[in-house]
Structure 1
Amino acid sequence: MGRYILRRLLQLIPVFIGTTFIIYALVWAIPGNPFAGKCGSRGCPPTYIAEMTQQYNLDDPIYVSYFKYLGDLLTGNFGETYSGIEVSTLIQNAYPVTLKLALIALVIEGVIGISAGVLTALRGKGFLDSLVLASTLFLIAIPVFVTGFVLQYLLGVQLEWIDPSVSSDPGIGELILPGFVLGSLSMAYISRLSRTSMLENKSADYIRTATAKGLAPRRVVGIHMLRNSLIPVVTFLGTDLGALMGGAIVTEGIFNIPGIGGLVYDAILGQEGTTVTAVVALLVMVYLLMNLLVDVLYAALDPRIRYD
């Protein structure tokens, strides 16, 4: 297992370089002057443009400027915005909030989605199965921003159970509703995926063998059926963490959450290429590490899988 993890970590290096280079090239190769409008209604003086071009290595070929940026990135230097603010400071303030929100959404979608899928698969066709299928189809069909606005209006404005907007330093309690909104779409997919996977394994030979051996139904379901059924669900959950963090722009905007989503949105509007590239590089790392974690969990869920 240790050699496999080491090999996978080494494989992450070219993947990280390739993905971050593509993002860097897309951000900095956009036609136009990134310093346009930075000096108000009048144009920026040539000395300012020359200094900023040299500072951000924009006069070098794209691959040269990228490797200069990569060298700074590996030393913890994420660069500065055009106004002179350290990007690492902006990320340090926004990233923990979005990470907390994404983890809450991941837990909500995992617990509710898996529970609903397992219950409907075990009980078979009936009222509960129809209710879950109709509810998940409704969540899939409704955009996340509609779900967010409706819940915010009903629970925050009409019933006054929550504050419509979270505080500047939100706690876990304030992020439960935004986390539910953020993970609602994935929760519907996980519920259907769990249900389908459980139904497939329900009629498998090893389940019939375990039942014929006289094992308790709870052990057959919890130890044998559920473990194998969770493999596709774990794959979905592992890759979904990065998607939740990168796709939280709408949810953070609805509930006024000071996270990565708002930071990236403002950076795109202001053509702050350094900020956009740094945030995307962190999201790439999350994706890569979560994929590695999912592969390791496969062996824990299915004893037939071994990494030698």
Structure 2
Amino acid sequence: MGRYVLRRLLQLIPVFIGTTFIIYALIWALPGDPFAGRCGDRPCPPAYIAEMTEKYNLNDPVIVQYFKYLGQILTGDFGETFAGIEVNQLVADAYPITLRLAIVALAFAALIGIGAGILTGLRGRGFMDNLVLMSTLFLISLPVFVTGFILQVVLGTELGIITPSVSSRATWGELIVPGFVLGSTSMAYVARLTRTSLMENKRADYVRTAVAKGLEPKRVVGVHLLRNSLIPVITFLGTELGALMGGAIVTEGIFNIRGIGGLVYKAILTKEGTTVVGIVTLLVLVYLLMNLLVDLLYAVLDPRIRYD
């Protein structure tokens, strides 16, 4: 297991360099003046442009710029915005909020999605199966901003159960409804994926053998059937955490959540390339580490999988 983890960590290095270089090149290699509009209606003074160009290494080729930036990242320095604000500070303020929102969304997707999938997968076709399939199809086809707007109006404005806008503290309780909105589509996919996997594995030879040996139904389902059926679900949920964090722009905008999504959106509008690259680089790290964790969980769920 240790050799496998070490090998996977080494494999993550070229993947990290390749993805972050593409991101960096897409942001900084775009044509146009990156300092346009920085000085109001008048053009920026040549001295200011020269200073900022030197500070961000814009005179160097893109590959040289990237490796200089990579060296900063390895020391924990994600750079500064054009206004002189450290990106580390911006991320430190916004990242915990988005992380809490993503965890709430992932919890809804896992608990409700897996629960509904198990319920329909074990009972087979019938009223409950049709109800879950229709409900999940409805959630998948409904855009997230529509779901968020409806819940915001109904639960917030009409019924007064929640506050329409999340406060700057963004407590766990305030993030329940936004987390449900963010995780609604993932929840539907998890339910369908769990249902399909269970129905396929119910006919597997190892399940028939366990039943023929006289094992209790709870043990057959919990130890044999469910553990193997959850492998594709765990794969989906593991990669979905990074997607939920990076795709929370709409949900954070609806509920006025000051997280990573809003920070990226504002940085794109103001052409703050350093902020965009820093945040996306952080999300790439989350993706890579979650993929490694998912691979390690395979051996826990399926005893047939062993990493030598």
TM > 0.5 between the two?
Answer: yes
Task: Report the alpha carbon displacement of residue 212 of structure 1 after superposing the two structures with TM.
Answer: 1.0
* d(CA) in 2 for partners of 1:3, 1:125: 45
- Tell me the TM-score normalized by structure 1: 0.99
CA distance in 2, matches of 1:66, 1:170: 35
Tell me how far apart the structure 1 counterparts of residues 222 and 29 of structure 2 sit (CA, whole Å). 53
Residues 148-297 of structure 1: matches in 2 within 5 Å? Answer: 148-297=148-297
2:177 and 2:202 map into 1 onto residues whose CA distance is 34
CA distance in 2, matches of 1:296, 1:49: 49
1:127 Cα deviation (Å)? 1.2
TM superposition shift of 1:62 = 0.5
1:7 is the counterpart of 2:7: yes
Partner amino acid, structure 2, of 1:220 = V
Instruction: Report deviation, 1:124.
Output: 1.2
The DSSP-based 3-state class of the residue aligned with 1:54 is helix
Specify the alignment match of 1:30 in structure 2. Answer: 30
Alignment of 1:51-130 (within 5 A): 51-130=51-130
- Structure 2 residues not aligned, in runs of 5+: none
Name the structure 2 match of 1:138.
Answer: 138
String of CA shifts for 1:39-82, please: whole Å, max 9, x gaps.
Answer: 00000011100100000000000010110000011101111100
The SS at the match of 2:265 is: helix
**Hey, what does 1:301 align to over in structure 2?**
301
| Deviation string, structure 1 residues 226-253 (Cα, Å, up to 9, x no partner) | 0000000000001000100000000000
C-alpha displacement at 1:125, in angstroms? 1.3
* Cα distance in 1, alignment partners of residues 47 and 171 from structure 2: 46
**1: CA distance, partners of 2:214 / 2:24:** 59
| Secondary structure at the counterpart of residue 7 of structure 1 | helix
Give CA-to-partner distance per residue, 1:139-174, whole Å, 9 cap, x none: 011000000000111100111100011110111111
What does the per-residue CA deviation read over 1:253-304, in whole Å, with 9 as the maximum and x for residues that have no partner? 0000000000000000000000000000000000000000000000001000
CA distance in 2, matches of 1:199, 1:35: 58
Q: Could you list the runs of 4 or more consecutive aligned residues of structure 1 that deviate by over 4 angstroms after TM superposition?
A: none
CA distance in 2, matches of 1:128, 1:156: 30
Distance (whole Å) between structure 2 residues aligned to residue 94 and residue 100 of structure 1: 10
Q: CA deviation at 1:122?
A: 1.0
Aligned residue identity for 1:255:
F
**Per-residue deviation, 1:199:** 0.0
* Distance in 1 (alpha carbons) for counterparts of 2:206 and 2:79: 56
Q: What amino acid is the match of 1:258?
A: R
1:68 and 1:275 map into 2 onto residues whose CA distance is: 16
Alpha-carbon shift at residue 84 of structure 1 (Å): 0.6
Please tell me the root mean square deviation across aligned C-alpha atoms, in Å: 0.5
TM-score for both structures, normalised by structure 2:
0.99
Please give the alpha-carbon distance, in whole angstroms, between the structure 2 residues aligned to 1:254 and 1:298.
37
d(CA) in 2 for partners of 1:307, 1:98: 34
Identity %: 74
Task: Mark the runs of 5 or more structure 1 residues left unpaired by the alignment.
Answer: none
